Amino acid sequence: MLVVSSPSGAGKTTLTRALLGEEKKVNLSISVTTRPRRPSEIENVHYRFISKRDFEILRDAGELLEWAEVHGNFYGTPREPVERALNEGRDVLFDIDWQGTLQLYDKVRSDVVSVFVLPPTAEELKGRLVRRAEDTPETVNRRLRNALEEIPHWMEYDYVLVNHDLGESLTRLRAVLTAERLKRVRQQDIEKFIEGLLADLRRIAP
């Protein structure tokens, strides 16, 4: 479970979508949200946009792996697609905030790898929010104020990445994924491979 969090506008979505484009073994967890859809967003690609009532029904039925209120809206991770992907041996990428990350830690800390993405400067963060131009000035301001609350949570993450340059950040994120997959405990077939290797060696060793 690869979790990537950041304040809004740090470039996380661009970064994670770029990773997904090249990593065929990674599924993106599509969250449900009560936030209105932005014009550029597609239902079931970016989010499943649902009513507050439907959100509460999912949450109360235990169908959300984690959930949180962010910027005045509700967001949550549907449990079933994540469990299915993990059971198929796939990795799952989560674009969720620190509150959701802590809830995943509580469930399966050893299965979670978390990355916190920071903007290079405060001006750049504001610039990206304004350039996105899909949110009202009021929403932009609220997201900037929220960044002040969110950034101190960098301490709760395994990795921290300052997003100066998309290409460089992508290389680093890929490096995290590669190294974490190489961890002995995550290499599911390695024991069988080593047994075979040793058996072959015993046969040919003088």
CB of 99 vs ligand 5GP, minimal distance in Å: 5
Binding of residue 70 to ligand 5GP (CB under 6 A):
yes
Collapsing DSSP to helix, strand or coil, 128 comes out as helix
d(Cα 41, Cα 36) in Å, to the nearest integer? 10
Closest CA to 66 of 93, 101, 91, 90: 101
Which helix or strand (DSSP H or E) is residue 78 part of?
strand 73-78
Cβ proximity to ligand 5GP, 67 vs 203, nearer residue: 67
Answer for which of 14, 63, 81, 99 binds ligand 5GP (CB under 6 A) is 99
- Contact assessment for residue 147 and residue 31, using Cβ atoms and an 8 Å cutoff: no
Answer for which of 34, 77, 114, 169 binds ligand 5GP (CB under 6 A) is 77
CB of 2 vs ligand 5GP, minimal distance in Å: 13
Give me the phi and psi of 9, to 5 degrees please: 100, 5
Binding of residue 97 to ligand 5GP (CB under 6 A):
yes
Answer for which of 93, 95, 125, 169 binds ligand 5GP (CB under 6 A) is 95
- Contact assessment for residue 63 and residue 78, using Cβ atoms and an 8 Å cutoff: yes
Site string for ligand 5GP, 145-164 (x = CB under 6 A): --------------------
Distances (CA, A) of 17 to 5, 83, 152: 13, 21, 25
β-partners of residue 162 are 118
Binding of residue 55 to ligand 5GP (CB under 6 A):
no
Answer for which of 15, 27, 58, 76 binds ligand 5GP (CB under 6 A) is 76
Cβ proximity to ligand 5GP, 38 vs 90, nearer residue: 38
CB of 68 vs ligand 5GP, minimal distance in Å: 4
Binding of residue 11 to ligand 5GP (CB under 6 A):
no
d(Cα 113, Cα 176) in Å, to the nearest integer? 9
Binding of residue 100 to ligand 5GP (CB under 6 A):
yes
